[in-house]
Chain A
Amino acid sequence: MEATISRPAATIEAEGITKEFVFSGGRIPVLDRVSIDVPQGTWVTIIGPSGCGKTTFLKILAGILAPDSGEILHDAQRIDPRGKAAYMPQSDTLLPWRSALENTILASEIDGRPREAARAEARELFTRFGLSGFENHYPAELSGGMRQRLALIRTFLAHRELLLLDEPLGSLDALTRATMQEWLRSVWEELGKTILLVTHDVEEAILLSDRIYLFSDRPAHVRQAFAVRLAQPRSRISDRFVALKGEILGLIHAKEADG
């Protein structure tokens, strides 16, 4: 099923990632030989049941966790993923004592880039992300949607080619969420990054991605990959959208036959 998807030169690949958590009471296998490709400049989404190991997989790509086996390749070269991607955790993890602006330059500060340049760059994105005027507010003074956008600015400003987004819209209400999805897609097209998104929202996946990987229950493996060939902007009620959604949902609800 992978044969239909061509592979550009600079692709980030995860090859046979296996991970289990060992604790005093036993061991839980979380990932079972997961392999995915994320071609440069594309939007790839992982969907799967909650608790299936999506977040663990993302943390391995972010270099926070080490896999038991398997490797991460960039351009067919094996790499240490630590520090290579910009990771956005599930909760916004904004630092409450820093103003909105200072929160977004976190990565620049860690990398030792000059602060004034980083701030100037951040201010531009505040305008682009509809947050101008809130630079000096503390995160506690912002709404959920604004905090999420702030965390996204921080992720963009990490200056990494690959962005790893763990349910970035998960905590938002349905209405805000729909607006943010459209908006996120347009921002992404403008900024030209590579995105790997984790979600359990099938519509969100189809709306945003070029490619979707469907994960199984724990221990997760890739059940199927879908290439989404729908023109942007996508309509949730177009026939092809609905058909693809039906296909994926059918697969999720059908008990696994392929083991």
Chain B
Amino acid sequence: MAKLISAYSRTILVLILLLLLWEGAVHLFNVPFYILPPPTRVLFVFFTKLPLLLSHAATTILEIGLGIFLGAGGGIGLALLIFYSPALEQGIYPLIIASQMIPIFAIAPLLVVWFGYGLWSKAIVAALIVFFPIVVNTVDGLRSVGEETIDLLRSLRASERQIFRMVRLPASLPFLFSGLKIGVTLSVVGATIGEWIGAKKGLGYLMIQSNALLRIDLVFASIMTLSLLGLLLFGALRIIEQRLLRWRTAGEENYRTRGIGS
């Protein structure tokens, strides 16, 4: 934690300055708190309403988790199919890319009609958003293996399965994580929008309700919770990535020290 704070000390400093500016402006111009609450009030509401926020957050987390699971699972599966079947690649890949021109938020109301006000409509919005960066990155990752490496394995009579397990899978992991990091961030947005359109619970739902009641402080507290949630997910992914892909940082450190030496 201390390491984290020292690494981001400048960011934290800027953040504090901005918050101070906000706090000062609200008091200086006498802005009513139901229009723009000062950060101290948002913090106060955040802590006093923590049980309420957490119970809504639980629903949103479930939606995001389910969305990531479905989106990543489907994305990885389709990436494998696209990679191993040229016919599928020609038939499907352009369509997948074109489908990204459809704003997912525009079809979110349809999803609510089809899948109801519960968990599933939001999970599917999140999944649709996660899906695309995973497919594209995983396909790129599977293709990233050099021809000479494949030649080497073929000369040793490695089967396609061995080539996949020994080379293509590990080579595509960094790409997969890049996709996941983009996807996870976007999935928070996806779930929230899904909740705006129609929900019985969740942080997006809480925001809409509070907004209607001019409880702007609670809106800000919900936004804060959502941001923390996104950061937490991103951080967790970074930790898993660093554990799993230790070889990448090992190389970087070496380049750095070598750069100084020579």
Contact = CB atoms under 8 A, between A and B. Distances in A.
Interface of A: 59, 62-64, 82-83, 85-91, 93, 95-98, 106-107, 109-111, 137-141, 158
Given A96-B247, A138-B247, A106 B155 contact: no
A140 B247 contact: yes
Contacts of A90: 148
Interface residues of B, number: 25
B258 to A, nearest CB: 8
B55 interface: no
A109 B250 CA distance: 24
Given A90-B148, A110-B162, A82 B155 contact: yes
B152 A87 contact: yes
Top 4 closest pairs, chain A to chain B, by CB: A140-B251, A83-B157, A87-B155, A89-B148
A213 to B, nearest CB: 21
A99 to B, nearest CB: 8
B245 to A, nearest CB: 7
B156 A97 contact: no
Contacts of B254: 140-141
A107 B255 CA distance: 29
A91 B166 contact: no
B156 A140 contact: no
Contacts of B171: 97
Given A59-B151, A97-B247, A110 B170 contact: no
A119 to B, nearest CB: 16
B151 A106 contact: no
A110 B152 CA distance: 11
Given A90-B148, A93-B149, A95-B149, A63 B155 contact: yes
Contacts of B173: 97
A95 B170 contact: yes
B146 interface: yes
Contacts of B247: 96-98, 138, 140
A87 B158 CA distance: 13
B153 A110 contact: yes
B167 interface: yes
Contacts of B252: 140
B151 A89 contact: yes
B155 A93 contact: no
Contacts of A141: 250-251, 254
Question: Which residue, A95, A97, A106, has most C-beta atoms of chain B within 10 A?
Answer: A97
Contacts of A88: 152
A110 B156 contact: yes
A140 B255 CA distance: 8
Contacts of B170: 95, 97
6 contacts: A63-B155, A89-B149, A93-B146, A95-B170, A140-B247, A140-B255
